Structures are given as C-alpha cells and as structure tokens.
C-alpha cells in the first residue's frame, strides 16, 4: 500500500516569472521530499501511539520514494518484503482496512506440516487457525517486549518438522532428560485423552527435565477493526506541510 503526493506545476505556473518557471520543478521536488519525510515521521509517531509497544522493524517499515525535477511526485509506502520475517504491509493490512489477522510465516509453515499422529487427519494447523504462545514463563522464552523469542519459533518448527508427534508424546518424559527439550503437537483427540491438562485445546508442548509444559495454544483467527488510518494520516500531513515547504522555495 502506498500514498502519493503529486505536484502539478500548471496550478501555479501562471503566477510565476520566467526564471521561477525554470526553477519550479526542482523547487517542487525539494518541497515534496521535505513533505514526505515529515509524513514518515508522523506515521511513525502515530504507530507508536496506536499500537502496543511496536517493534523497531514495524516503526521503520514506513518508507518513501523521493521526487525529482523530472517526476514531481513523492511516495510513502509500507515495506513489502521481509526475507527473514513477516512483510509489514501484510500484517498491518488488517489494522488499516480491518479484517482477519495475518497468518505469520510460522503459522503458514505449520499449515504445511501434516499431523503425524495416528489420530491426525490433516495439517498441524488448519488455514483458519493460529498458534498463540502462552503467557506463562514456564517453557516460553520471552523477549524484552514480552513476545516469544524468534529463536524459540525456529526451534519449535524444527522439532515439529522432524519429529513423530505420537512417539514424542508417549516417550517424551523419559527421553527429555537425555536429549534436552523437545517439542510436539497434540491434536484434539490427544488432548482429550490427557485429563490433567489445564486447557482442553490443541497446542504445542515442550518436554524438559521430565516436565510437560504447554508453550502454544491453538485458536481461531481474530478479526480486527481498522485502528490505523494510514491514508488519513498521510493526507493530513501532506496538506499541512507541502504548502509550507513550497512557500519556503521563494518562487512567488
């Protein structure tokens, strides 16, 4: 998604002398670039105030393309790529347009893993479901912002990809002492068979030091109302700053 500021020199060219007409494209480009930079600052400040403790990657995902004398338009946009993570333009979209939550790369990978248990009939995670980390410090390694650490996500996926869930679930308590921590997925049937679990929902569990700990719980995809008016913030900033910066070019 992007927001463009376009300057049409014909709107004021009749008010300019010959020298100013020649200088106009460069002056307009300067004003546009100053404006789009301020738009980015406003967007970042709004993100900090509207989102709960956003990570630096999200704050820095607001990017811009500068105007030139030959193309007097500047563009503010949200980063669309993330080689090692989730594209901000995708996970921010429900906050801008409203809609269901974006399924992260981790969630999508779980949907490509088949449940290896004998009672399993499909993927570990259905396309309309997601895995949410528990808030208990028992088993979950948190970042300073209170999120599950990226390293643990990688660790969990590696175990699920290469481990038989049924075997780990039945023998995990014994083998964990020798092999460190292990992760496995329990589907609904497996959870129902274990009456000592606090939550009767499918999820991902960890075995360490002969202890069984739930680290993630399966849940439906939440739906968000639009809370980040990206386009309104950008238009308001452009209307406020561009006339000011254009006047500073001393054309009139």
Query: What DSSP string describes 189-218?
Result: HHHHH-TT-S--S-EEEEEETTEEEEEEEE
121/200 same-domain check = yes
Q: What's the rounded Cα separation, in Å, for the pair 106 and 125?
A: 10
Residue range of the domain that includes 202 = 104-220
Given a contact cutoff of 8 angstroms between Cβ atoms, the answer to whether 219 and 201 are in contact is yes
* pLDDT over 70 percentage in the chain: 85
Looking at the fold, whether 55 and 90 belong to one and the same domain comes out as yes
Q: Are residues 34 and 130 in the same domain?
A: no
Percent of the chain with pLDDT over 90: 52
**Residue-averaged pLDDT of the chain:** 85
- Mean pLDDT for 207-218 is 88
Mean pLDDT of 175-183: 60
Q: Is residue 72 part of a domain?
A: yes
The total of structural domains in the chain comes to 2
> Who wins on pLDDT, 161 or 42?
42
252 is a domain residue: no
What pLDDT does residue 171 have? 42
Asked whether residue 79 falls in the same domain as residue 146, the answer is: no
pTM for the model stands at 0.80
- For residues 108 and 194, membership in a common domain is answered with yes
Residues 146 and 78 in one domain: no
Q: Please determine, for residue 30, whether its predicted confidence score (pLDDT) is greater than 80.
A: yes
Residue 140 lies in a domain: yes
Q: Whole-angstrom Cα distance, residue 20 to residue 68?
A: 17
Q: Tell which residue, 134, 106, 129, has the closest CA to residue 220.
A: 129
Same domain membership, residue 170 and residue 242? no
Same domain, 202 and 114: yes
């Amino acid at each position: 998604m992007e927001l463009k500021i376009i300057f049409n020199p014909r709107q004021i060219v009749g008010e300019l002398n010959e020298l100013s007409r020649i200088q106009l494209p460069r002056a307009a480009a300067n004003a546009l670039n100053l404006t789009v930079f301020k738009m980015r600052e406003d967007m970042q400040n709004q993100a900090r105030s509207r989102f709960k403790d956003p990570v630096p990657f999200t704050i820095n995902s607001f990017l811009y393309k500068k105007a030139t004398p030959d193309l007097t338009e500047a563009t503010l946009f949200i980063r669309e790529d993330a080689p090692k993570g989730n594209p901000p333009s995708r996970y921010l979209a429900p906050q801008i347009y409203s809609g269901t939550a974006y399924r992260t790369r981790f969630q999508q990978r779980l949907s490509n893993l088949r449940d290896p248990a004998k009672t399993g009939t499909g993927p570990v995670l259905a396309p309309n479901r997601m895995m949410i980390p528990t808030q208990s410090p028992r088993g979950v390694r948190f970042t300073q912002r209170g999120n599950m650490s990226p390293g643990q996500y990688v660790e969990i996926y590696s175990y699920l990809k290469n481990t038989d869930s049924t075997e780990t679930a039945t023998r995990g308590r014994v083998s964990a002492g020798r092999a460190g921590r292990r992760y496995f997925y329990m589907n609904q049937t497996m959870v129902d068979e274990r009456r000592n679990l606090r939550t009767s929902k499918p999820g991902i569990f960890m075995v360490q030091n002969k202890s069984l700990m739930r680290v993630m719980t399966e849940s439906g995809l939440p739906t968000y109302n639009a809370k980040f008016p990206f386009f309104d913030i950008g238009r308001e900033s452009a209307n406020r700053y561009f006339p000011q910066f254009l006047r500073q070019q001393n054309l009139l």
